[in-house]
Amino acid sequence: MKKIKIQCIGDTHGMHEELELERSDIIIHVGDTCNSGSFRDGMAFLAWAKRQLTRGICDEFIFVAGNHDFTFEMIDKSYIPQGLVWLNNEEYETRDGLKIYGSPITPTFGHWAFMRERGDEISKVWKKIPKGLDILITHGPAYQILDRNSSREYCGCYDLGRYIKERKPKYHLFGHIHESYGTYKDDHTTYINCSTATGEYALTNKPIMINIIKENAYDY
């Protein structure tokens, strides 16, 4: 049995150097690593993320892209430094055996990256979410769960919420709607909006720490 410490961050918008991170087994970034989404911004984020591994801040660094991250629409995984895990609508098993699935997709709003129309188009993405997950990572929230913006409008994806209710991941990590930073729990899933930036784009929301007990964690 092992307690796995996970540090959850997101929506750093190019300000990641300002973060004060704790030692953890895993860092998970839920997207919007960049602000403008330029190639230079994307590479700067990857270099910073790699340094967290080499400095021993974490043993694994997992991330999805967000709607500001145009860089990750343009590159493939050959650009990703060894040791970093970029999830693009796919599943990953951590070295301790946690099952994680990550997606960058959010409902269409304006002209940003990784967006799909609500309804049938975005449902085709969410259908790929497997059952039995320890953690689901998406950039955006489900409808009416930590998804209110500064105008008090619900911005989340109804179809995502429908598949979460069916698939029942233990944790759902996301960001995108900075103003709804925080946690919520229902009978099956703990929802965490870990937007590190506030609605005013100040990097003052703290990384959210979670601990998962894994009974059959791998030895290494």
24-57 pLDDT, tens digit each: 999 999 999 999 899 999 999 999 999 999 999 9
Instruction: Look up the CATH number of the domain holding residue 180.
Output: 3.60.21.10
Place of tokens 């998962």: 212
* Number of compact structural domains in the chain: 1
In a domain, 220, yes or no: no
Q: Using alpha carbons, select from 152, 174, 46, 50 the residue that is nearest to residue 107.
A: 174
**For 59, left (φ over 0), alpha (ψ -120 to 50), or beta?**
alpha
Tell me: the pLDDT tens digits for 145-202? Answer: 999 999 999 999 999 999 999 999 999 999 999 999 999 999 999 999 999 999 999 9
Cα separation, 31 vs 111, in Å, equals 17
pLDDT tens digits, 62-108? 999 999 999 999 999 999 999 999 999 999 999 999 999 999 999 99
Which residues are paired to 102 by β-bridges? 90, 137
For residue 141, is it within any domain? yes
